[in-house]
Amino acid sequence: MSLAEPQDNGGAARRGRPRSEAVEEAVRAAVTGLLEEGVPLADVSMERIARTAGVGKATLYRRWAGKEELFVDVLRSVEPPEPELPGTSVRDDLIALLEALRRRGLAKRSSAFLYSAFAQMRSHPTLWEAYRATVIQPRHRMAVEVLRRGVENGEIRADLDIEFLNDLFMGPLLVRTVIRPGAPLEDDLPARIVDAVLAGVRPPAGDRPIAD
């Protein structure tokens, strides 16, 4: 059974009209189902996705420019959502960022789709670049902005390179999710990482701004 597209009064589909959530859900389910079944990423074409979802190929192209954009959209729908930063302190914001990274690590361990997707993506440079530009870079910019604010507020030393700082905070979780995928991801791990690194990158007590 196919999922019919909602019709305009004028007949032809128009860009900018409200999307059909049922159609999009069927398409995302088709992509995740194919990969969970072990279908190689190279064989997951737009034609095959449309056929599996029970929609026309034109339906896909009205919503996604191509396979890369569709696949990244599916990944983002399955991964845990982006964190909302509390903004109360650099420490709190960093813990929120690392907690989101920890949750993604747990999701990849428990989701056959995510496990298969990330195992194959590196061998598909165009797809990996689309994911990096759409998902990884915005997260990186968010973390860098938090660290810059910490330097400006006097919570972090100003003599350290921002990118180096980002590596110090994010590195331990990346090690446990990528290099040591079986390593524990305890609930308190983000706070322990942040507190350990902050202890080494805070300005000396005499250099910190005096609170009002």
DSSP line for 114-161: HHHHHHHHTT-HHHHHHHIIIIIHHHHHHHHHHHHHHHHTTSS-TTS-
Q: What is the pLDDT of residue 17?
A: 40
Count of other CB atoms within 10 angstroms of residue 62: 15
Q: What is the pLDDT of residue 82?
A: 87
Question: pLDDT digit of tens for each residue in the chain (212 aa)?
Answer: 455 454 444 444 444 444 578 899 999 999 999 998 889 998 999 999 999 999 999 999 999 999 999 999 999 988 888 889 999 999 999 999 999 999 999 998 888 888 888 888 888 999 999 999 999 999 999 999 999 999 999 999 999 999 999 999 999 999 999 889 889 999 999 999 999 999 999 998 755 555 44
Query: At which residue do the structure tokens 């030393």 appear?
Result: 157
Q: What is the pLDDT of residue 118?
A: 87
Q: How far is it, in rounded angstroms, from Cα 120 to Cα 82?
A: 23
Q: How far is it, in rounded angstroms, from Cα 73 to Cα 64?
A: 9
Q: What is the pLDDT of residue 10?
A: 41
Tokens of 195: 């507190």
pTM for the model = 0.80
Backbone region of residue 11 per phi and psi (left: phi > 0; alpha: psi in -120 to 50; beta: other values): left
Q: What is the pLDDT of residue 18?
A: 42
Q: How far is it, in rounded angstroms, from Cα 68 to Cα 206?
A: 52
What is the amino acid identity at position 99? E
Q: What is the pLDDT of residue 1?
A: 45
| Residues 44, 31 contacting (CB under 8 angstroms) | yes
Count of other CB atoms within 10 angstroms of residue 177: 19
Count of other CB atoms within 10 angstroms of residue 24: 21
